[in-house]
Amino acid sequence: MKKRRMIVAITGASGACYGVRALEMLRDIEDIETHLIISSAGLRTAMEEGVVTSADEIRTLADVYYPHKDIGAAVASGSFKSAGMLVAPCSIKTLSAIAHCYSDDLISRAADVCLKERRKLVLMVRETPLHAGHIALMDTATRSGAIIMPPVPSFYTRPRTLDDLVSQTVGRALDLFDFDHPQVRRWKEGDAT
């Protein structure tokens, strides 16, 4: 069986746990092959937030890892077929590069490739509060085909732990790629009508 490829990028915004959890959840889906790009700021943030203790700890969660400055990597080409790309978390710097087609690193280049090839690109923009410039960037990226999905937790699931909140949010992001993870709780699912 041929595996579906999924690109996951982790940038320097707070919330590296979202990208790491996405990689963990994607491992649970048999026919998915993950391709990871993590910026140096993303790695630093993941370590500062206590999500991981080393670069290798994140890299081993993915099937394939690319250095973020390697703009000649496979994911930099439209001929690399994938289900799309999740940027979790997505910094404002990365959002700006994507919105303005400024592909100076592999994260922004792979994102631009997804947009030009009409593949799903989900940006878990992690910034608050927002000013007009941030909102304009989100609008520009959306008009190019990106899906903006800030990691806003849902409370109808009655989360008991931080991991419950992170997993549900990441699971909903994976829904956008038609990846159904059994850990995701659905509103009123199973209730009698």
The two structure tokens encoding residue 170: 């990441």
Give domain limits for the chain. 4-175
Task: Confirm if 107 and 87 have CB atoms less than 8 A apart.
Answer: yes
Task: Confirm if 8 and 35 have CB atoms less than 8 A apart.
Answer: yes
Residue 102 scores a pLDDT above 90: yes
Average pLDDT for residues 67-75, to the nearest whole number? 96
Residue 83 scores a pLDDT above 70: yes
- Each residue of 141-172: b (16+ CB within 10 Å) or e? beebebbbbbbeeeeebebeeeeebbbbbbbb
Average pLDDT for residues 37-46, to the nearest whole number? 97
Residues with Cβ within 8 Å of residue 97, at least 6 apart in sequence: 103, 104, 105, 107, 108, 111
Residue 193 scores a pLDDT above 50: no
Residue 141 scores a pLDDT above 90: yes
Chain-wide mean pLDDT for the chain? 94
pTM exceeds 0.85 for this model: yes
At the top level of CATH, the class of 4-175 is alpha beta
Phi, psi of 125, rounded to the nearest 5 degrees:
-65, 125
With 0-12 / 13-18 / 19 or more C-beta atoms within 10 angstroms meaning exposed / middle / buried, residue 187 is: exposed
How high is the pLDDT of residue 192?
46
High-pLDDT (> 70) share of the chain, % = 97
Give residue-wise pLDDT tens across range 149-171. Answer: 999 998 988 999 999 999 999 99
Give residue-wise pLDDT tens across range 42-54. Answer: 999 999 999 999 9
Amino acid found at 35:
H
Amino acid found at 146:
A
Least reliable range by pLDDT among 91-100, 111-120, 147-156, 180-189: 180-189
